[in-house]
Amino acid sequence: MYGRGLRPLAIVTLVVLIGGLAMAFFYAPVDADQGVIQKIFYIHVPMAIVALCGFVAGGVMGAAHLSSGDRRWDLRSYVAIHLSLIMGVGVLVTGSIWARAAWGHWWVWQEPTLVSFLVVFLLYATYQPLRFSIEDPHRQARYASAFAIIAGAFVPLNFVAVRLAQPLTHPRVLSSTGNLPGEFGVTFLVCLAGVALLFATLWKYEMASKHAAEQLRALRSRLAEAEAPGPPPRRAVPAGVGGPVS
Amino acid sequence: MRAASALLRKDILLELRSRESVPAMALFALTAFVIFHFGLDRSSLAGSLAAGVLWVTLLLAGVLGINRLFVAEREQGGLDGFLLAPVDRVALLVAKALALLAFLAAVELVAVPAFALLLLGPPVWPALPQLIAVLVLADVGIAVVGTLVSALSVQTAARDLIGPLISLPLMIPLLIAATGATTPLLLAGGAAPLPLRWMAILGLYDAVFALLAYAVFDFLVED
Amino acid sequence: MADEAAAIQLDGVGRAYGERFALRDVSVSVPSGATLGVLGPNGAGKSTLLALLATLVRPHTGVARILGHPLPREGWAVRGRIGFIGHEPLLYRQLSGRENLRYHARLHGVELRRVEALLERVGIAVRADEPVRTLARGMAHRLEVCRAVLHEPELLLLDEPLAHLDPAAVEAVEPLIGRSTRLTRVVTGHDPTAAVADCDLVLGLRDGRAVLSGPAGDVTPAHLGALYR
C-alpha cells in the first residue's frame, strides 16, 4: 500500500532536489560576506526545518496511536522520528561547516537554532535505545508513542528557551522568506520543497519495506501454524456450560 | 484525592524507613560542590557562574532521585497493588511528583546552605525569598519531568542509564530559565531584582509538562 | 443459559506477547458463587489468565466480561470488587504488616479498624508491626490474604493461595478465601486432585489454549495425565 506512487514521488523528488541545488549554485547570487560557503545554507536550513517538522509529526502520530490503539501509527511515528534523527546528523554537520566558514569556529553557541537543535538531537538519540530495551511489543509501542508526544511538545518549548538565553542575537537567518531578496527566497523555497519531498519519499520507502517485511513474517508464521497445529482440545464436556454448584 | 494522599504517605514512610534517596542526593550535592571547587579552581563564585554551579548540581542530584522513584513499585509489586484499586491512575502521578518534590526540598535544605558556605561569594540572605521562589518553581518542573521519565524508564532493561539520558535534555530549558532567574540574585555587587521573564518561562515549562504528564501517564501505567 | 448471571464470561479471549500467545482463544463461563480451578503445566498461561481477570492486563482478542462488565472498557467498575493474590506478595518489604494493610485500606476507602479485625482473625496481630522482610514466608502470605480481602471483594482470584501455609495457617485463612465464603473464586494450583476436589469447574490450559473444560466431577485421571504430559 505504501509502495504505490513511490516511483513517481521519487522521480519528482529527484527533479526538485537537483533543480534546487542547481539554482543554489548557479542562479542565486553569491553572498557578499560569507562567500560561496554560504550556499550550504540552502541545504542546512531546509534539512533543519524538515527534521523538526518530522519530530513534531512523529509526536502527532504517537498521539494517534495512543488514542486509537492502532499500532500502525506507532510504526509511522517510529519511521518519521528515525528519519528526522538521521537528517538531524546532517543538520549538525552542515551547521558546523557553515559556522566554521562564517564565524571561524567549528561550533558556535551564539546561533540559537543550532544549539537548540543539538539539545533536541540529544533527546531523540535516546528514542531507539528506549524502544529496544522494552521487550513486549505492545508496551514498547505505547512507551515509544508517549516519548514521541513528550519530545514533540518539547521541541518548540526548547527553541523558545534557547532563543531567550541569547543576549545578543546573531543575524537570524532562519527568518521568514520575506526578508530574503528575490533570488535567495525562490532558491530557498525550491530547496525546502526538495528536502521535504526527500523526507516524504524516504518515509514512504521505509514504510513500504517494513510493511512488506511484516506481511512476510505474518505469512511465515501462519504457514508454520498450518503445518504443525496445536494440541486438539480435549473436553470433559463442551466448554461454556456451567457446572453444578455443590 | 484520597488515593494520592495515601500513596504519598506510603512513599514518605518508605523513604523515612529506608533512607535510600534523600541522603544520597544530599551527599551527592555536597560532593559535587567540592568537585566544582577543584575542577574550576575557584573558591568564590558569583553571578552566572554561581547560578550555573548551583543548578547543575541540583539537577544532577534530582536525576539520582528520579532513578529511584518507581523502584519500590517495580520490585515489590506495588504497582499491581495500586492498579487493583478503584482509583484514578493520575493519583499515582500526583503522589510521585509530590514525593519527588518533597525529596528535592529536603535536599535543598542541606544543599543551598552548603553552597552558600562553600562556594558562594556574595551573601545569600538579601535575596533569599526570591531564591526560594525560583527553587519552588523549578522544583515543580523537575518533579513533573522526573516522574514522567521515571515512569517511562522503569520498565526498560537499562533503566539506570536511560533515565538520566532522557531527563537531562528535557530539563535544559528549565536549567536555562532557573539560572537566568538566579543569576541576578547572586551578583557580586549586590542582588538585583528577580527577572520575571524567566519566572514566566519556568511557569510555562511546568504547565506544559504537567499537561503532557496528565495526558500520557495512563498509557505508561496500564497494560 | 446461565450466561447473563455469570460472574465471569470469557469468549475467545487471547493475549499476545510479541509473536507468542500467552493465552489463545480461551472461553469459559463461571456462574456466581462457583469455584473454577485452573490447571496446567508451567508456562501454560494460568498466571496471565488470572492477571487478565484481575484487570491488570487487557485482553488483545475476544470478549471478557467480569461481574457483568466488559473489559477493558469498564475495568474501573469492577476493580474494587476483586480480590487478587498473585505469585509475589504485593507488600512493601520495608514497611510493617500493619502499615501495608493501612495503606491498602486508605487506597480502597476501607475503615482502618477492619485492618485490626483481619490481623486478629489470621493470627498475626502480634507481629504486625515488624517489617515484612523479617517475616517468614508463611506469615507474609497470611498478610497477603488479609490484603486481598480487605475491601470485601465479590470475586476472588487466587494464584496458588495455599502454597506456603502450614495447616494452622490454612485453617486460619480458609474462612477468608476458601469455599465457605460462597464467593465466586478462580484458583490455580499444581495439585490437580486437590483442585478437582475443591472446585466446581475445571479449566485446563496448555500453551495458552484451553484443552480441558467442564465440571470438576467429569474430569478423569486420564484427562489430567494428558494435560500434564
Res A66 pLDDT > 80: yes
A156-165, A217-226, B169-178, range with the lowest pLDDT:
A217-226
Q: What is the ipTM of this complex?
A: 0.90
pLDDT on residue C43:
81
pLDDT mean across residues, chain C: 88
Cβ-defined contact of C80 to B86 (cutoff 8 Å): yes
Which CATH number covers residue C125?
A: 3.40.50.300
- Locate cell 504488616: which residue? C97
What the block records as the C-alpha cell of A73 is 501509527
| Closest Cβ opposite residue C212 in set A135, A221, A236 | A236
In tens, the pLDDT along A86-128 reads 999 999 999 888 888 877 888 888 778 888 899 999 999 999 9
In tens, the pLDDT along C111-145 reads 999 999 999 888 888 888 999 999 988 888 899 99
Provide mean pLDDT across the span A47-67: 95
Peptide bond into C72 cis (omega under 30): yes
Minimal C-alpha gap between A69 and chain B (Å): 11
pLDDT mean across residues, chain A: 81
| Chain A hits for B204, Cβ within 8 Å | 157
The DSSP secondary structure of chain C, one letter per residue, reads -GGGGEEEEEEEEEEEETTEEEEEEEEEEEETT-EEEEE-STTSSHHHHHHHHTTSS--SEEEEEETTEEETTTHHHHGGGEEEE-SS----TTSBHHHHHHHHHHHHT--HHHHHHHHHHHT-GGGTTSBGGGS-HHHHHHHHHHHHHTT--SEEEEESTTTT--HHHHHHHHHHHSGGG--EEEEE-S-HHHHHHH-SEEEEEETTEEEEEEEGGG--HHHHHHHT-
Provide mean pLDDT across the span A66-90: 94
In angstroms, the CA B36 to CA B55 distance is 12
| Chain C hits for A140, Cβ within 8 Å | none
In tens, the pLDDT along B80-100 reads 899 999 998 999 999 999 999
φ, ψ at C202 (rounded to 5°)? -130, 140
Q: CB–CB of B163/B149 below 8 Å?
A: yes
What the block records as the C-alpha cell of A41 is 545554507
In angstroms, the CA A92 to CA A97 distance is 9
Enumerate residues 6+ apart whose C-beta is below 8 A from C182: C33
Q: How confident is the model at residue A147 (pLDDT cuts 50, 70, 90)?
A: very high
pLDDT on residue A230:
58
What the block records as the C-alpha cell of C84 is 487478587
Is A97 among the domain residues? Answer: yes
Best of A131, A132, A245 to substitute, by most chain C Cβ atoms within 10 angstroms, is A245
Is A235 among the domain residues? Answer: no
CA-wise closest residue to C162 among C180, C147, C144, C149: C144
Res A242 pLDDT > 60: no
Query: Closest-CA residue in chain B for C74?
Result: B86
Provide mean pLDDT across the span C152-169: 87
In angstroms, the CA A74 to CA A207 distance is 11
| Closest Cβ opposite residue B157 in set A133, A151, A162 | A133
Q: How confident is the model at residue A32 (pLDDT cuts 50, 70, 90)?
A: low
pLDDT on residue A81:
96
Res A51 pLDDT > 90: yes
> For residue C66, which amino acid is it?
I
φ, ψ at C215 (rounded to 5°)? -65, 150
Res A184 pLDDT > 80: no
Range of the domain at A61: 6-211
Domain count, chain C: 1
**Residue B76 vs residue B70, higher pLDDT:** B70
- Locate cell 542541606: which residue? B110
> Which chains would you list as touching C if contact means 3+ CB atom pairs under 8 Å?
A, B
- Locate cell 487487557: which residue? C58
φ, ψ at A188 (rounded to 5°)? -60, -45
A141-145, A158-162, A227-231, B47-51, range with the lowest pLDDT:
A227-231
Query: Closest-CA residue in chain C for B77?
Result: C90
pLDDT on residue C4:
56
In angstroms, the CA B100 to CA B104 distance is 6
State pTM to two decimals: 0.88
Range of the domain at C203: 2-227
Is A225 among the domain residues? Answer: no
| Chain B hits for C54, Cβ within 8 Å | 84
The verdict on C96 touching B (C-beta cutoff 8 Å) is: no
Res C169 pLDDT > 90: no
Cβ-defined contact of B76 to C106 (cutoff 8 Å): no
In tens, the pLDDT along C70-113 reads 988 888 889 989 999 988 889 999 999 999 999 999 999 999 99
pLDDT on residue B170:
96
pLDDT on residue A237:
43
pLDDT on residue A225:
73
Q: CB–CB of A45/A173 below 8 Å?
A: yes
| Closest Cβ opposite residue A236 in set C19, C209, C218 | C218
pLDDT on residue A5:
80
Is A224 among the domain residues? Answer: no
Res A236 pLDDT > 50: no
CA-wise closest residue to C47 among C171, C172, C187, C227: C187
> Which chains would you list as touching B if contact means 3+ CB atom pairs under 8 Å?
A, C
Q: How confident is the model at residue A246 (pLDDT cuts 50, 70, 90)?
A: very low
pLDDT on residue B29:
96
Res A175 pLDDT > 90: no
What the block records as the C-alpha cell of A183 is 533570488
Domain count, chain A: 1
